[in-house]
Amino acid sequence: MKTILAPLLGTEADEPVLKASQVLARLFDSHIDCLHVSPDTAQLFAASTAGLETALSVSTFSADLWDAVVEASKAAATAAEKKFKAFAAQDGVRLAGHVDGIAGISAEWHRAEGDYVRAVTKAGVVHDVVVIARSAIEGEISPEIGSILSGCGRPILLAPPNIPDELSSTVAIAWKDTAEAARAVTAAMPLLKKCKRIVVLRASEDESVADAEASASRLADQLRWHGFKVQSHHVPPDILWPAEAIMAVAGELGAKLIVMGGYGRSRAYEFIFGGFTRYVLGHARLPVLLAH
C-alpha cells in the first residue's frame, strides 16, 4: 500500500484521516496525497438554496447570504490546507510530488473544484487505498462512502474518531462466503503480511453453526498456505445481531483493524433495511478496511 489518498474536508474529521493515513504509511513507507475538493459555483448555489423554492422565493437568496456561503467554502479549503501543512511539518514526513527513492513517508497537497464524490473517486482509482473518516456522531453514516467504494475499485480505510498507534499486531477478518469479502481479503494481503496475528470471525446468520464454523476454517486454512498465523472463531450472535457481535468480539480480542467486504447487498437495500455495512459505517470503533 504505497499510495494513500486522504481527502480532507477542513473539519475535525481530518484528524482521524491524517492519523490513520500516517499509521498505515509507516508500515509501507507510503506516499500520502491529501486532497481537498471545493464545490463549484453551481453546486454551492444548489446546496445553499435547497428547499427555498418551496418555502421562499429563490430571489430572496440575498447577496450577503451568498457571500457567507462562498466564504465558508474558502474557510474550509484554508483549514484543510493548514491541517496538511501541520501534518507535513511532523518528523518523518517529507514533501514530495514524485517518486524519489527516499525511504519514509512522503506527502503532497492537492486541490480540486467540483463534485466531491466524483473527484475523490477519480483520484482513488490510481491509489492503493482511500482513507475516509467515520462520522463522529454515533450511528450517522456518510452516503458518499458507498459511491466512492463502489466507484473507485480500491479499498477504503474507514477511520473512526480514535485511531490506534499501530494496525498490525492483530487483524480481524469479518468473513462471509461472498465475493466482496474475498476481495477485501485480497486487498488486505499487504497488511496481513505485516501482521503478528490474524483472526477470522464468522457469525452464523441464515446457516447452521457448523456451516459458519466450516466457512471460517476454510479461509483460515487458505491463509495458512501464505504462511500466516491464523485463528478462526465462530461468533454466536446471542442477543446481539451479527454485525454488532463481530465488532464486539474483535475488540475483545485486541484487534487493531477489521477487514470486511462492503455492500454485499445493494446500498438501497442496506439503507432501507439496515445491514452489516451500514452498521459498521455508523458504529465502528476500530479502523475498518472495506472492499466491494
- The pLDDT score that the predictor gives to residue 53 is 54
Q: Please state the rounded mean pLDDT for residues 16-35.
A: 97
The residues pairing with 5 across neighbouring beta strands, listed in sequence order, are 33, 130
Higher pLDDT, 41 or 201: 201
pLDDT at 81 over 60: yes
For residue 252, give the amino acid letter: E
- Least confident stretch, 14-18, 49-53, 70-74, 134-138: 49-53
The three-state secondary structure class of 125 is coil
Q: Which helix (H) or strand (E) holds 17?
A: helix 14-28
Q: What is the pTM of this model?
A: 0.89
pLDDT one-digit tens code per residue, 84-128:
999 999 888 999 888 877 889 999 999 999 999 999 999 999 999
Closest CA to 177 of 143, 218, 137: 218
Q: Which cell goes with 121?
A: 473517486
pLDDT per position as a tens digit, 218-251: 999 999 999 999 999 888 766 567 888 899 999 9
Domains located in the chain, CATH noted: 3-159 (3.40.50.620), 170-291 (3.40.50.620)
For the chain, give the mean pLDDT: 87
* Distance of alpha carbon 179 from alpha carbon 289, whole angstroms: 15
Helix pair angle (63-88, 14-28), 10° resolution = 30
Question: What type of residue sits at position 90?
Answer: Q
Q: Is the pLDDT of residue 52 over 80?
A: no
Angle at 149 between CA 11 and CA 5, to 5 degrees: 50
The 10 Å Cβ neighbour count of residue 24 is 28
The C-alpha angle 141, 143, 148, rounded to 5 degrees, equals: 120
